[in-house]
Amino acid sequence: MLHYMDSPASSNIPSSTTSEAWNCRVDSFDVDGFAAQVKDLDPGYVIFTLGQNSGHFCSPNSAYDEVVGTTPSKLSRRDLIAEIADALAPGTKMIAYMPSNAPANDVEAIKRFGLVPPWDGGAWGLPKPPEGSLVADERLSEFQKKWERVLAEWGERWGDKVAGWWIDGCYFAETMYGGKDEPNFTSFARALRAGNPGRILAFNSGTDRPFERLAAEQDYTAGEVSTNFPVSNKWEPMFGKTDGMQTHVLSYLGDWWGVGEPRFSEAFVTGYTELITGLGGAMTWDVPISESGRIPPPFFERLRCLSRQFV
C-alpha cells in the first residue's frame, strides 16, 4: 500500500498546497521507475491512494469538480492511477484507495457535497451541533448520491485497469448504508463496480472491527491493524470463516501510514507474512513513497526479502 498524498494520513490540518503545486508533484511521478521497483518485488497487487482529507486527488474527475466548483480544480490533470495500472499490467493488479466521505479538511467540499453529519463532527472536524438539534436525514442521502456519481466516473473510465477498491472511513456503516432503500451499500457497491463488475471491494470501519463483513457486497476484509496483530493461536478460527470474504490483514511498516523508518526487522516481516498467507490470508504492508514515485531503500529491502522468501 502506498499513501501518495500532499499531507500526512489522517491529518486534520487544512492543506496549504496549491492546485499548481499539486499538479507539479503529480507530474513529477516517474511511473516507469515506480513500475520497475514494483515488478522487482512482484507483489501481485498494489493499493494506491487517490487522496484523502486535503481534497487533492491524483486523478481528474468532472463529477467532483461539478459538485465542488473550486477553480482551479484541486484534482490533478494527470490520471496517475490509470498510468500506474497500465505500467503494472498484467502481472500486478491495481487497487484504489478512497475515503467513504468528502475530504475532511476541505470545508468548501464538505459544504457542497452536503456532508453534515448527525454526530459531533468527529473526523470531519465540524463543530458539535446545538443541544437538541436534529439532522433530518441521518443517512446523508444527498451526499451519498453525489459521492456515488464521483466514484462511478472514475470506475467507468478505468474499466478493467483497476481491479478493486479499499474504502476507508466507514465508521457509521449501519446508519448510512444499512437501509433497504437506496442509497445504501447496494448502490454504493454498484457505483464502485462501474466499468468493471468484477472489481473487488473492502469497506473499512477502523481497527476495532477489521475482519467484519459490513456489506453483502464486500469481497475481502479491510484488515486494518496497528499494534494488535492477529496471531494463529487467537485468530486461526477466523481464517476461512470470514463469511465468505478473503481474509486480508493490513498494517504500516513505518512509524505511521506512509512515513517514518521501518519498525520491524526482515525476520518479522517475512515470518508474519508467512504466518498469514500460510493460513490462507493476504498480507498488505504500507510503505512510504517519494513525490517522484520511489519506495525508500530501507523499505524496499524489507519488501525484497518477501519476494525472495515467496519465490
For 16, residues 6+ apart whose C-beta sits below 8 A from its C-beta are none
Paired sense of beta strands 200-203 and 248-252, if any: unpaired
Paired sense of beta strands 93-99 and 45-49, if any: parallel
CB 291 within 8 A of CB 25: yes
Q: Return per-residue pLDDT of the chain as tens, 311 residues.
A: 999 999 999 888 899 999 999 999 999 999 999 999 999 999 999 999 999 999 999 999 999 999 999 999 999 999 999 999 999 999 999 999 999 999 989 989 998 998 865 444 444 455 555 544 434 467 889 999 999 999 999 999 999 999 999 999 998 898 889 989 999 999 999 999 999 999 999 999 999 889 989 999 999 999 999 988 887 555 554 555 567 899 999 999 999 999 999 999 999 999 999 989 988 889 999 999 999 999 999 999 999 998 877 65
Specify burial of residue 213 (Cβ count, 10 A radius: 0-12, 13-18, 19+): middle
Supply 7's cell numbers: 499531507
CB 272 within 8 A of CB 244: no
